[in-house]
Chains A and B, each alone.
Chain A
Amino acid sequence: MLEIPKEKLLWIYETMVKIREHEERVAELFAQGKIPGFVHLYIGEEAVATGVMAHLRKEDFITSTHRGHGHFIAKGGNIKASMAELFGKATGICKGKGGSMHIADLDVGELGANGIVGGGIPHAVGAALGIKLNGLDNVAVAFFGDGASNQQNFHEAINLAAIWKLPVVFVCENNLYQISLPYSKQQAIKSVAERAVAYGIPGVSVDGQDVFAVYEVAKEAIERARNGEGPTIIEAKTYRYRGHFEGDPQIYRSKEEIEWWKNNKDPITIFEKTVLEKGLLTKEELDAVREKVKKEIEEAIKFAEESPWPKPEELLEDVFSTPTKGVLVWQW
């Protein structure tokens, strides 16, 4: 295991717990009818976003998926503003115009969750092209699921990144189900990482429930990208505890299977066990983090609940940025 500074260990723990706590509370709020629309929760997959984002700077870019809350939190997004967004409030990070599936924060390099499976993968490649042409040493990371790895955007974008040797890392969160279709029925290969061969770039599969393992492979891939050595595909084998969306009846998998993952492969439990056994962090330190996080999430919920709804006139704003002559937003 790599040597990880204590400060970073605490950040990793705080981030994973924050994602878990955030998502558990969102599930409750959704069930209570306070959050409209669809929500796709990241519970169970916390180690992937956290292990990767541990190596990113604010200036680095990410693109995200339907299941984007975890990426947003790990990239350092403002949780009050994102919670307000989930509620559809005017104070939301997207002023109530994006919602759960479009959580974005350009201020921290989060180029957006995406409602279209695989839609964001080329955007990371574009950001990486911008980085390279501007002579910067930043990187872009595209997060996507196993389902997206069958999409044209996956193949076309990775091919472009490979031929142009761009500073981008492709992180597949293989949570074993493309909505209801199990991985074994989507692809004839054992690992999405095997596809890297087809693009002449490295591909590595990692236990996505072990944040230390993710941290290690991500470190190498991101360093390669920063050093101008081109893209890597990382496949993190992971598991979502919740359905594809809240309200998913989950007829495609058994309760036993879900329980097995929770009992044997929980990323937060694995982390806690490791740091306590090795004496890297104390129980008190961990408890303090949990308490701090709970408070932060409750504050965000309070902020969201108390925030005003967007005004009707805001409907017509934010379509275009450059005003021009002629009619831009049509209304009869």
Chain B
Amino acid sequence: MAVVREITFAQALNEALDYEMSKDPKVVVMGEDVGQYGGIFGVTKGLLEKYGEERVKDTPIAESGFIGTGVGAAASGLLRPVVELMFIDFLGVAYDQIYNQAAKIRYMFGGKAKIPIVIRTVSGAGASAAAQHSQSLHALFVHVPGLKVVYPSTPYDAKGLLISSIEDDDPVVFIEHKMLYGVKGPVPEEPYSIPLGEADIKKEGKDVTVVATALMVYRALEVAEKLEEEGISVEVIDPRSLVPLDEETILNSIKKTGRLVIVDEAYPRCSFATDIAALAVSKAFDSLKAPVKLVTAPSTPVPFSPALEKEWVPSTEKIETAIREVL
């Protein structure tokens, strides 16, 4: 069997961008420091040299302006922009262009417009970047009709999902957890796509279902392996795309195990975790043998001190406790 090479999450994304740019001249990359600098996390490295300043555009720090420009370029039918919002926390300065413009134009125009824009952005705590550079705000996108929201956990998924996202004719918010950029995993050299809306069962199990996103997938898997030694069988599901949501895979798993724990690194109220909990009790209530448990960050801003931040992010200990409670 051929050995698949291992590359980082950041390199996998870079390959997806490179492939799409080489394939379609309409694909352009825009954002702060995406050119010569190669993106502050190195995702756009080498693209400027290969595709030139016209297609790899360094922008002023003007998120509303350049995301809006991307929306207009996409609506005109002339380009397929991949725009980088350096941190998801900067959403506030550009939110109108995302939730009022990109998300709604197609509907408001009676289906006449296509908005093929991808907004890549960086999420997550763990780098002591404090309250304005560490949040997990994916729920703010999931909440708004008209946006597709992708949040991968592995380098393999990252490459395949970014290719699908760029080829999709709808606005896609593609979220990358900053603590995953350096994570290595097997990724084929050739291009491939993973359809949006297909969850991945990262580990099969029969006693309890754990739905986890991004970095939390790794923590859930760590706990699952540990519990396996005790004979507790945990199924770990990574939705990968939050919109569209693979409701079927999640519900089937709950029906099989009868127990559900949701692990999401975000504020708890009106969150992705509460959304999945509502799904479970609405559509799989009869299968549930125990109350649904949520493991999330608390409703506080993300603290700076590593000691406090460690406490803020859902830990393997908390995940393990939650699983034991539902068993």
Would you call A111 an interface residue if the criterion is a C-beta within 8 Å of the partner chain's C-beta atoms?
yes
Q: Which B residues are within 8 Å of any A CB, using their own CB?
A: 28, 54-55, 57, 59-60, 62, 64-79, 81, 93, 96-97, 100-101, 105-114, 145-146, 148, 168-170, 195-199, 241, 243-248, 278, 282
**Beta-carbon contact of B68 and A328 below 8 Å:** no
Which chain B residues lie closer than 8 Å to A304 at the CB level?
A: none
Asked whether, in the complex, the Cβ of A326 is within 8 Å of the Cβ of B110, the reply is no
In the complex, the chain A residue whose C-beta lies closest to that of B80 is A130
A326 with B79, Cβ < 8 A, contacts A112-B108, A122-B72 known: no
Closest to B198 in A: A325
Q: Is the CB of A126 within 8 A of B76?
A: yes
A211 at the interface (CB under 8 A from B): no
User: Residues 156-167 of chain A: 1 if any B CB is under 8 Å from the residue's CB, otherwise 0?
Assistant: 110110011000
Chain A residues in 8 Å Cβ range of B65: 122, 125, 152-153, 155-157, 159-160
Interface centre among A124, A136, A320, A328 (most CB of B within 10 A): A320
**Complex-state Cα separation, A22 to B323, whole angstroms:** 66
Are A95 and B111 interface neighbours, CB within 8 A?
Answer: yes
A71 to B67, CA, bound (A): 24
Instruction: Return the chain B residue nearest A156 by Cβ.
Output: B65
Contacts A160-B59, A326-B198 given; indicate if A111 touches B75 (C-beta within 8 A).
yes
Can you list 15 A-B pairs, Cβ within 8 angstroms, ordered by A?
A: A95-B111, A104-B113, A116-B101, A122-B66, A126-B68, A127-B78, A130-B79, A156-B64, A159-B65, A318-B110, A324-B148, A326-B196, A326-B197, A326-B247, A328-B243
In the complex, how many angstroms separate the beta carbon of A71 from the nearest chain B beta carbon?
15
Q: How far is the CB of B241 from chain A (nearest CB, A)?
A: 7
Q: What is the CB-to-nearest-CB distance from A315 to chain B, in angstroms, rounded to a whole number?
A: 10
Complex alpha-carbon distance, A153 and B65, angstroms: 6
Inter-subunit contact A124/B72 (CB<8 Å):
yes
CB closest residue in chain B, given A163: B60
Which residues of the partner chain B approach A119 to less than 8 Å between Cβ atoms? Answer: 68, 96-97, 100-101
Whether the pair A160, B62 counts as a contact (CB closer than 8 A) is: yes
Query: Size of chain A's interface in residues, with CB distance under 8 A?
Result: 58
Question: B68 contacts A127, CB within 8 Å?
Answer: no
Bound-complex Cα distance A198 to B168 (A):
38
Interchain CB contact under 8 A, A159 and B60: yes
User: Which of these, B64, B78, B109, B196, contacts A153 with CB under 8 Å?
Assistant: B64
B residues less than 8 Å from A114 (CB atoms)? 101
Say yes or no: A123 contacts B64, CB within 8 Å. Answer: no
Give the residues in chain A near B169, CB-CB below 8 Å: 321-322
Residues of B within 8 A of A319 (CB): 106-107, 145-146
Q: How far is the CB of A33 from chain B (nearest CB, A)?
A: 23
* CB nearest neighbor in B for A320: B170
Which residues of chain B have C-beta atoms less than 8 A from A219's C-beta?
A: none
Is B145 in contact with A133, judged by CB distance below 8 angstroms? Answer: no
CA–CA, A115 and B96, complex, Å: 11
A60 → chain B closest CB, angstroms: 11
A63-91 vs B: 1/0 string, CB under 8 Å?
Answer: 10000000000000000000000000000
Taking CB atoms, residues of chain A closer than 8 Å to B100 are 115-116, 119
Q: Say how far B48's CB is from chain A's closest CB, in angstroms.
A: 15
User: A97-B110, A112-B105, A126-B71 known; A156 and B62 CB under 8 Å?
Assistant: yes
